[in-house]
Structure 1
């Protein structure tokens, strides 16, 4: 065989392997919703009103929520405790001490509430969403939308307990300057949970769930090649994780699509791809736990990401409610022990 043919075969082999790897990473079970959305039913409309009220309470009544803004984190914790208590889910505070920077020695609070499992209570599924914002932003989409859905799922699970314990956590300090440091709320939480020996079966992070657009070209991606496998319109909700947790994200997408009334996409890509690890699931990966992110893709879609314009009136509460209802099926799937 000549050297030229060896080069041709090598190129074909590399292309075949690369294509196979991409197809493996992007294939998800079930069928996504296509075409115009069906009219919302009464439950969806009612839930949309609740979600909007929660987003407005966080983004308008409290506003910017971070360590830079005096009293804002404490006010948010109080509000979360009131909301959880009103739905019959008893909240607890996971308090940790900040270790670096200008706030070293101060305390931060993760708000935790759980619904005990009915048959496998020692196995824990964690649903998390950060409640803080970047300085200067009211954070309606990032991440009042995630917190609102977390509360909706907690209320539903309170009435529909699962075999496994489902633990709902509103995390502090996901944003800079704490992002991916020991002072990130989820980092501190998983560190303490591992020390106490919690059996974490899976973790689902909710981060930016409320901004959608049906305009062509409204959806962007970190690499150009990704757009060949996913929509150009930002009208879907995304499920993403690292390649190691592909089976988990496929389970989640399959469960979501069984009853979903909104488009959905999933991906299990290398953790180095920008955006794949940019939320509270990352510390769970680092601690060896399977975890994934549910998101509208935030900076790859939302023009007001981390800006003052991230305000409540921009969000699509009908679609947000559809996401929350679809995620009930994901909680059911994750809440079922392996083998059942």
Structure 2
């Protein structure tokens, strides 16, 4: 035991502090470079090419997004392995919506309890072997209805699939509703996205881009409403009114392509983060990390979860806390981005 009157605080030598500060800045260099680049004039588009829906179509989209969230989070409620019927009801709903949009849904089974991922595909025309995967998990933690986490992601997934169904695109678009993203399965062998990514790698599936739709419904223009890991907060806005695109270093090229395409096709505020995984471990906390682990380029697309939404993983994560108008605008921007990344046969 150290006696109080004998304790002398350690003073770090100046040269040691300089080394630590230098190392931190070096690790942050990709983030700083990206932040500077995406906000430079070179990155700005000369002309917006935002996909336009009629007023009636936008009203329908907002209502559809709301309907999906209310059904999953309110009619069904918490959705996890301790309540298998809730997972079955969620799967039935997702399958029904895929089929209503004109897809043939299929299942990917895994685990002793026959957990399921739900898959629908829009085959590519010129490059069908190249896959752009859009995924969202449908399960929740215990004692949370999971409106933002992650009925919002599933809702956007379903509406992207519906609207894009009749488009002719060069690359295959694969839509996957993942099971078992939450604990106790997170980062384990029975995590739905881990199963899918591992099997894709074993089959040599050419996934050229993966987008994990994770919590996409919570937005506010209130100053000071957005928070960050302390080390990067000074780079980004303090209003929680944007969508974030997050990448590890190997996915940096995809981040630049995606963020540029999104901004060139939408006025919805968007921010990008490129940073080493081990520097901010929270960036691994969703399905995209399963694809990073299999060396696929993947992005987390998110409202930033607990960095803005205080209802995260609580009973208060209810459908009436979400902004469906913003979700609709975001959905249109993501569709335009996907079309741009895939390309059309006439391009």
With structure 1 as the length reference, what TM-score do the two structures score? 0.88
- 1-structure distance, mates of 2:100, 2:152: 19
Listed one character per residue, the Cα deviations across residues 58-109 of structure 1 (whole Å, up to 9, x for unaligned) are 111111111011301111111111111011011001111x2xxxxxx21100
- 2-structure distance, mates of 1:41, 1:261: 17
User: Given the superposition, is the C-alpha separation of residues 12 and 139 from structure 1 closer, same or farther in structure 2, using an over 3 Å criterion?
Assistant: closer
- 2-structure distance, mates of 1:199, 1:17: 33
User: Given the superposition, is the C-alpha separation of residues 67 and 260 from structure 1 closer, same or farther in structure 2, using an over 3 Å criterion?
Assistant: same
- 1-structure distance, mates of 2:273, 2:318: 28
Corresponding position: 1:56 with 2:70: yes
The 10-residue stretch of structure 1 (177-186 or 44-53) with the greater mean CA deviation from structure 2: 44-53
Corresponding position: 1:79 with 2:88: no
Residue in structure 1 matching 2:323, options 316, 320, 325 = 316
User: Given the superposition, is the C-alpha separation of residues 176 and 20 from structure 1 closer, same or farther in structure 2, using an over 3 Å criterion?
Assistant: closer
Corresponding position: 1:262 with 2:271: no
Corresponding position: 1:24 with 2:30: no
> 1:13 offset after TM fit, Å?
7.3
> 1:48 offset after TM fit, Å?
1.1
- Where do residues 83-162 of structure 1 align in structure 2 (5 Å cutoff)? 83-96=97-110, 98=111, 105-162=112-169
Query: Once superposed, what is the RMSD of the aligned Cα atoms?
Result: 2.5
User: Given the superposition, is the C-alpha separation of residues 110 and 84 from structure 1 closer, same or farther in structure 2, using an over 3 Å criterion?
Assistant: same
User: Given the superposition, is the C-alpha separation of residues 287 and 14 from structure 1 closer, same or farther in structure 2, using an over 3 Å criterion?
Assistant: closer
- Where do residues 1-340 of structure 1 align in structure 2 (5 Å cutoff)? 20-26=29-35, 27-28=37-38, 30=43, 42=55, 43-96=57-110, 98=111, 105-222=112-229, 224-272=230-278, 273-336=280-343
User: Given the superposition, is the C-alpha separation of residues 217 and 121 from structure 1 closer, same or farther in structure 2, using an over 3 Å criterion?
Assistant: same
> 1:302 offset after TM fit, Å?
0.3
> 1:249 offset after TM fit, Å?
0.8
What stretches of structure 1 of length at least 5 have no aligned partner? 1-5, 33-39, 99-104
- 2-structure distance, mates of 1:177, 1:15: 33
What stretches of structure 2 of length at least 5 have no aligned partner? 1-14, 46-52
Tell me if structure 2 keeps the 8 A contact 1:238–1:297: yes
